[in-house]
Chain A
Amino acid sequence: MTTTQEPLSPNDSWWSSITRARELGIVVGLVALVAVTASANPRFLSAQSLRDVLLGASILTVLAVGQTVVVITRNIDLSVGSVLGLSAFAVGSLVRDHPGTPVAAALLAGAGIGVACGLLNAVLVRYGGVPALVVTLGTLYAYRGLVHTWAGGGQITADELPRGFLAFADGGVLGVPWLVVVALVVTTAATVLLRDFRLGRELYAMGSSPRAAQLAGIRTGRNTLIAFAASGALAGLGGVLHAVRFGTVDAAAGTGFELTVVAAAVVGGVAVFGGSGTAWGAALGALLLTTIGSALPVLEIDQFWQQTIVGALILVAIGLDRLVALRAARALRKGGSRVR
């Protein structure tokens, strides 16, 4: 555009960037939900109930952030639920057999298992030329089968796990549980990485136009490996958090979780066809889904409505996303220099 462009005042800039953010809708929805629920029953804001919501949201957040990194590149990772199960069982067995294992080592071990799973996904996508949807649908079964074969019908119970390991769920810093700290660190790191680093911008470029990204000299192969490894690592980390939080792990841990994870990302404004979305949006999506789950019984709404609401939310989220995109396109066509 060669037309005169009004200079943006800094005030205008941050205000408009807030009001234009896709994530605003989720924040408003979340605040409204909490307000309504709390007014119906103030105990919803009790320390115990808040804690439960945050712990649940933490695990979902860690996986949803990983999913975001992959989905931004126009791929998808459906194997995360199975990776969570595999990691939870593996790390559960590890600390059961070696009670002295420090929690940090357990977290690293879980992430390591996840990286291995993620890299296998990535290699199949990158070198096999197989679409991510198909690869991760396959490994969803394969990894789950692996856990089942290994665990059989057995399970690891809380009294078999060392107390130091389980204490990680209760402990925290300044009253913030460790699980929440982990989720915050993961979300912040991914947000900064995606927004301010070259790698992050390359991931968006790959999702917006894979061919153009390649022509522009972006190392798409390497970046695909990194994205899937990140998603795997976070799913593996989520597995350890799962084991810590619930104390009981069997072969079915995390079954079907992949869809909740994708739902959290989609509700959080991450476009399934790549190129847009933020990690903190996905974290908000995870928080919203978890809050709905615990608000329903407080509002005396049948728990059975939960999935219905989640489904409707996904449809609303992608619908709104499309609406915003259409408005932006129309504004551009009219020749406006700025999209409001």
Chain B
Amino acid sequence: MSARRLLGWDAAIIVVALLAVALSSVLVDGFGTTRNAGYLVLDLLPIALLALPMTFVVITGEIDLSVASTLGLTSAVLGALWDAGLPIETIMPLCVLLGALLGAVNGLFVTVFTLPSLAVTIGTMALFRGLAFVVLGDSAVADYPASFTGWVTGSSGGVPNVLLPLALLAIAFTVVLHATPVGRAVYAAGAGQEAARFSGVRVDRLKFWLYVTSGAVAGLAGVLWTLRYSSARADNGAGLELAVVAAVLLGGVSIFGGKGAMPGVLAGVLLLGTLQSALRLSDVTNEALTIVTGGLLVVSVLLPNLLRAATRRRAGPASARPGAPTTTP
């Protein structure tokens, strides 16, 4: 992450997100309470979790639309296994493993069969969601041990319990992306596959493991989702993939790959969550919130382009066209 990037979109989105939090605390009744902060964290948890590996995937120039369905299938399997009498301590790691396996299916199609990830994950999105319904039908499995559900929804000393694993994962993903060879390989693969290959990056292997990671995190999100609502359902998390992609793009990650940073994405998630929470507390309907989500997404990508165009116009017509010979007057 270069200094220039930090001063650009990422800094802007972080400032906007913090401003949104500050303004909401002052202007919206009940927003600044610990109680609401706890809800905010719980509401943001699945989006924030899924956004972490999604950032990696999108920076490499791919996409994973199957994450919400992976969440749903793990939730359904968790319910079925719990119904079958397995202890929850055994089921939870199994679910994360299942998520990783589902991710491996995506990775296999994308890297070994070299199919476009958009099409592959639209396919597995339907496939995994369908399997979730095959496993559980439209019934729900409830009654998990109170110690587990209580831990997920509870807090200690005013700090929500789930914040700990979320923060640990966020730090781990940020460090890997911005301070390790893996992170550099991710950017290299996104900036240009061939160039990355020639400089020794094993692009396919990298992408495969990113999909496995994405699946594993979605599996974990499935476990937490189930415990939070004490309900395993096949339609858990339906439609969440779009919110996750929206948050990642809002955070400044380019859909073309090669660009983006984790702090921006986390700020994007926070901004999305804050606005939704604040508007909901101000009695704006859930439905009107979808306009905000959509509008934010378009504006966030549109704005930098328009700013760039405006700067270019001010710089003079000669530089307005890329590739045009620049003549300095």
Contacts and interface: CB of A to CB of B under 8 A. Distances in A.
Contacts of B119: 266, 272, 314, 318
B126 A130 contact: no
A175 interface: no
Contact of A304 (B118, B134, B255): B134
Contact of A307 (B109, B126, B287, B296): B126
Interface string B112-141: 011110111011111111110110011000
A314 B123 contact: yes
Interface string A184-208: 0000000000000000000000000
A141 interface: yes
Nearest to B256: A131
B302 interface: yes
B242 A137 contact: yes
A130 B303 CA distance: 10
A311 B302 contact: no
Given A128-B302, A311-B123, A319 B255 contact: no
B26 interface: no
Given A129-B305, A138-B297, A148 B134 contact: no
A145 B290 contact: yes
B239 interface: yes
Interface in B62-111: 63, 109
Interface string A268-292: 0000110000000000000000000
Contacts of A251: 287
B270 interface: no
B261 to A, nearest CB: 18
A140 B113 CA distance: 31
B191 interface: no
A140 B239 CA distance: 12
Nearest to A306: B130
Interface stretch (A109-117, A216-224, A256-264): A256-264
B294 A145 contact: yes
A310 interface: yes
Interface in B273-324: 285-298, 301-302, 305-306, 309
A322 B115 CA distance: 7
Interface in A295-340: 302, 304-315, 318-319, 322
Contacts of A122: none
A91 B140 CA distance: 38
Contacts, number: 157
A149 interface: yes
Nearest to A130: B301
A256 B291 contact: no
Contacts of B309: 129
Contacts of A145: 287-294
Interface residues of A, number: 46
B134 A149 contact: no
Contacts of A302: 134, 137
Given A124-B302, A140-B294, A262 B122 contact: yes
A144 interface: yes
A134 interface: yes
A130 B302 CA distance: 6
Given A141-B293, A266-B119, A315 B130 contact: no
A142 B298 contact: yes
Nearest to A318: B119
Contacts of B125: 259, 311
Contacts of B129: 307, 311
A286 B100 CA distance: 32
A135 interface: yes
Given A128-B302, A128-B305, A315 B120 contact: yes
A259 B118 CA distance: 12
Contacts of A272: 116, 118-119, 122
B291 A134 contact: no
Given A134-B298, A137-B242, A145-B289, A314 B122 contact: yes
Given A142-B294, A311-B123, 6 more contacts: A133-B63, A137-B297, A141-B295, A311-B130, A315-B120, A318-B116
Q: Which 10 A-B pairs have the closest CB atoms?
A: A311-B127, A141-B294, A148-B287, A308-B130, A145-B291, A307-B130, A311-B126, A314-B123, A142-B294, A138-B298
